[in-house]
């Protein structure tokens, strides 16, 4: 009979073998778990990034406010629903002219930038879509009047007013008309948007018929309106459940998002510009050279700055510490946001009706002296200028490391770094 000649497998040997096997199995399982967790973490991060790109909360004051400061570009006048005039990213220290696009009339409208396209109006009556990379026209839509209003782009549609009294909703892709809403007078200010309780997008805008309108973004049907006693030239700012705008009746009007009046603040002279809202404070100037900060919940004035009576048509740009705004006395002012103390002022060669944009410790603004300026935000020193030669009332839009602005010479200009 054959016998097993292998060494005997006593209990000690069996225990050691099991121990080695357990250690190997534990190491293998540990490696599998680590690899699985790494893959899972990558998936979670990717999903979070995708969600951030497509879902933006309504802007309160954060520099990452919706809709502009997303990966899509600069989607409306002043870049956000609070009209803060803040851009992300970087621009060259000495920007170069990359391209210019000719329209057939002065360009007082301010651009929006969306998915590689520039959208802007012209006094030739057209709304244009222009390729951001090369300045070539993609489409044009003709209105019945001149277009000084600036675009607001929501859910793939361009909302913009015209002096023909209509607000237009135009497909951003192909330039086709979705609907138009008629008021009783010209619309020069730019639309803004709010979300209803049902999460519907609603467009709010003012008209020279003295009325602020709220219409359904999808259908153009009026939801509510609010009448004032004089023209509404500027754009409404939106923050949380408040809508605020200045009127030529000299009042700051603050409404709830359902159109119910909340506050009415007398500034002493008519208001041509648009407010900006940071935290719970609103900032705006009037025609008699008074610039104020006011609490939108109580109506209490936080501070006031008065120049020598030169009007403020420019709308302010606001970051956490500073407020920057132009005036018809040729000065660009920088105030402390908390108390209104003047930090610096930069003097151009003519009035500044253009509204500044803050980016990366720089301020970009146009002037009636025909120049676009870049100013150091910390000290007010000029860093760069480019002479166009005709008045610049249009306000800059900044996205993709490029500055886009219109001029009264009929051109839209793009500045950046040439490839």
What DSSP letter does each residue of 317-377 carry, written as one string? EE-SSEEEEE-TTSEEEEEETTT--EEEEEE-SS---SPPEEETTEEEEE-TTSEEEEEET
Q: How many domains does the chain have?
A: 1
What mean pLDDT do residues 235-261 have? Answer: 97
CA 299 – CA 242 distance, rounded (Å): 13
State the Cα–Cα distance between residues 398 and 73, nearest whole angstrom. 8
197 band by pLDDT with thresholds 50, 70 and 90: confident
Give kind and range of the element (H or E) at residue 15: helix 11-54
* pLDDT: which is higher, 43 or 312: 312
Instruction: Summarize pLDDT for 3-41 with one digit per residue, the tens.
Output: 343 344 455 555 555 556 667 667 777 776 676 666 655
The answer to whether residue 375 sits within a structural domain is yes
Domain at 402, CATH number: 2.130.10.10
The answer on pLDDT for 410 being more than 50 is yes
The single-letter DSSP state of residue 80 is B
The pLDDT assigned to 293 comes to 98
pLDDT at position 390? 98
Q: Which residues contact 365 (CB under 8 A, 6 or more apart)?
A: 314, 326, 332, 352, 354, 355, 356, 357, 372, 373, 375, 395, 396
- For residue 115 the two structure tokens come to 């998915």
Mean pLDDT across the chain: 89
| 283 falls within a domain | yes
The distance from CA 379 to its chain's CA centroid, rounded to whole angstroms, is 25
> How buried is residue 310: exposed, middle or buried, by Cβ count under 10 Å (0-12/13-18/19+)?
middle
Task: Please write the tens of the pLDDT for every residue from 362-397.
Answer: 999 999 999 999 999 999 999 999 999 999 999 999
Q: In which domain, by residue range, is 110 found?
A: 74-416
Give me the count of residues in the chain: 419
Is residue 48 assigned to a domain? no
Cα angle value 333/243/245 (rounded, 5°): 45
| CA-derived radius of gyration, the chain | 28
Poorest-confidence range of 1-15, 84-98, 104-118, 333-347? 1-15
pLDDT exceeds cutoff 80 at 187: yes
Asked whether residue 412 is assigned to any structural domain, the reply reads yes
235 within domain boundaries: yes
Task: Identify whether the C-beta of residue 217 lies closer than 8 Å to the C-beta of residue 155.
Answer: yes
Q: Is residue 106 part of a domain?
A: yes
- The pLDDT tens digits of the residues spanning 202-233 come to 999 999 999 999 999 999 999 999 999 999 99
Cβ-based burial of 211 (10 A; exposed 0-12, middle 13-18, buried ≥19): middle
| pLDDT > 90? residue 106 | yes
CB atoms within 10 A of CB 71: 12
* Residue 14 domain flag: no
Output the pLDDT for position 33: 67
Report the C-alpha gap between 185 and 224 in whole angstroms.
17
Q: How confident is the model at residue 419 (pLDDT cuts 50, 70, 90)?
A: confident
Cα 155 to Cα 105: distance, rounded to the nearest angstrom: 29
Give the per-residue pLDDT at 70: 42
In a domain, residue 67? The reply is: no
What is the pLDDT, as a whole number, of residue 34?
Answer: 73
CA 187, 192, 195: angle at the middle one, nearest 5? 135
Q: Could you read off the pLDDT of 271-306 as tens digits, one per residue? A: 999 999 999 999 999 999 999 999 999 999 999 999
CB 131 within 8 A of CB 99: no
pLDDT tens digits, residue range 41-78?
554 444 444 333 333 333 333 333 334 344 458 999 99
Q: What is the mean pLDDT of residues 87-104?
A: 96
pLDDT of residue 47: 44
Q: Which range is least confidently modeled, 11-15, 123-127, 214-218, 254-258?
A: 11-15
């Amino acid at each position: 009979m054959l016998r097993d000649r292998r060494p005997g497998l006593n209990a000690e040997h069996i225990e050691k073998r099991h121990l080695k096997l357990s250690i190997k199995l534990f190491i293998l399982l540990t490696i599998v778990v680590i690899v699985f967790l790494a893959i899972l973490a990558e998936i979670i991060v990717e999903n979070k990034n995708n969600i951030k790109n497509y879902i933006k909360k309504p802007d309160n004051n954060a520099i990452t406010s919706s809709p502009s400061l997303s990966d899509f570009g600069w989607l409306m006048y002043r870049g956000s629903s609070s009209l803060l005039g803040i851009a992300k990213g970087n621009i060259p220290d000495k920007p170069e002219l990359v391209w210019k696009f000719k329209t057939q009339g002065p360009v007082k409208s301010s651009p929006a930038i969306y998915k590689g396209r520039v959208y802007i109006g012209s006094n030739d009556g057209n709304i244009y879509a222009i390729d951001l990379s090369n300045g070539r026209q993609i489409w044009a839509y003709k209105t019945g009047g001149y277009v000084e209003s600036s675009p607001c782009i929501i859910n793939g549609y361009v909302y913009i007013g015209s002096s023909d009294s209509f607000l237009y909703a135009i497909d951003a892709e192909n330039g086709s008309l979705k609907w138009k809403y008629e008021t009783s007078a010209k619309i020069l200010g730019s639309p803004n948007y709010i979300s209803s309780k049902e999460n519907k997008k609603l467009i709010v805008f003012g008209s020279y018929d003295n009325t602020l309108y709220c219409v359904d973004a999808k259908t153009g049907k009026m939801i509510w309106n609010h009448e004032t006693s004089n023209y509404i030239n500027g754009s409404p700012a939106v923050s949380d459940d408040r809508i605020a705008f200045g009127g030529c009746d000299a009042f700051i009007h603050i409404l709830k998002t359902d159109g119910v009046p909340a506050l009415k603040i007398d500034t002493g002279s008519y208001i041509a510009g648009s407010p900006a809202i940071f935290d719970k404070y609103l900032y705006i100037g009037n025609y008699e050279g008074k610039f104020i900060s006011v609490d939108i919940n109580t109506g209490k004035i936080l501070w006031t700055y008065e120049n020598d009576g030169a009007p403020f048509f420019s709308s302010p740009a606001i970051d956490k510490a500073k407020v920057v705004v132009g005036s018809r006395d040729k000065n660009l002012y920088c105030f402390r946001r908390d108390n209104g103390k003047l930090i610096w002022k930069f003097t151009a060669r003519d009035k500044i009706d253009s509204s500044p944009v803050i980016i990366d410790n720089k301020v970009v603004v146009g002037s009636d002296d025909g120049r676009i300026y870049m100013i150091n935000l910390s000290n007010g020193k000029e860093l760069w200028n480019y002479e166009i030669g005709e008045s610049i009332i249009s306000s800059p839009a900044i996205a993709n490391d490029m500055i886009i602005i219109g001029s009264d010479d009929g051109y839209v200009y793009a500045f950046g770094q040439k490839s």
